[in-house]
Amino acid sequence: MVVVYACSLQWPAIFPQHGPGRKHERVIELLDWQAEIVRESPEALLRGLIHTDGCRSLNTVKSAKRTYSYSRYLFSNRSEQILMLFAQACDHIGVHWTRMNDHVISVARRGDVAKLDTFIGPKR
């Protein structure tokens, strides 16, 4: 394990989304330089979001006629802005997503799950 410490009064200027208060109660938006990085590498943002507030799971559906299972990704956050950053990154790479409820986005289509599998990988 490696522990890294960094102290500076400039962190709020560099990363304004890390301000005081609960993140789901304040505005979260990317600065121009951050948005440019996300446009260039949406996969890195998606990987980080899934590794911090998401999961890949097996969903099993039972009906009167049959039982079937499929893999899906879930991303959960109470901040609407963070949910939309996830959704916009998915849109950017052509991955279909749906809202399960107010706090959860699901990616469940087989091809879309396979696409995310190519760069998300296991949590560490």
Q: What pLDDT, on the 0 to 100 scale, is given for residue 18?
A: 63
Give Cβ neighbours of residue 98 (< 8 Å, ≥ 6 apart).
Answer: 105, 106, 108
Q: Return the domain boundaries, the chain.
A: 11-117
Mean pLDDT of 77-87: 92
Q: Judge whether residue 85 has pLDDT over 90.
A: yes
Short-list 58, 61, 37, CA closest to 113: 58
Q: So what's the pLDDT on residue 3?
A: 87
Could you tell me the fold of the domain covering 11-117? Endonuclease I-creI (3.10.28)
Tell whether the model's pLDDT for residue 123 goes beyond 70: yes
87-104 confidence digits (pLDDT tens): 999 999 999 999 999 999
Instruction: Region of 99 please: left (phi>0), alpha (psi -120 to 50) or beta.
Output: beta
Q: What is the pTM of this model?
A: 0.79
Q: What is the pLDDT of residue 4?
A: 82
Alpha helices in the chain (DSSP H): 11-14, 32-40, 42-53, 80-93, 110-117
The answer, yes or no, to whether residue 16 has pLDDT greater than 70, is no
Q: How high is the mean pLDDT of the chain? A: 88
pLDDT grade, residue 24 (50/70/90)? low
Mean pLDDT, rounded, for 101-116: 96
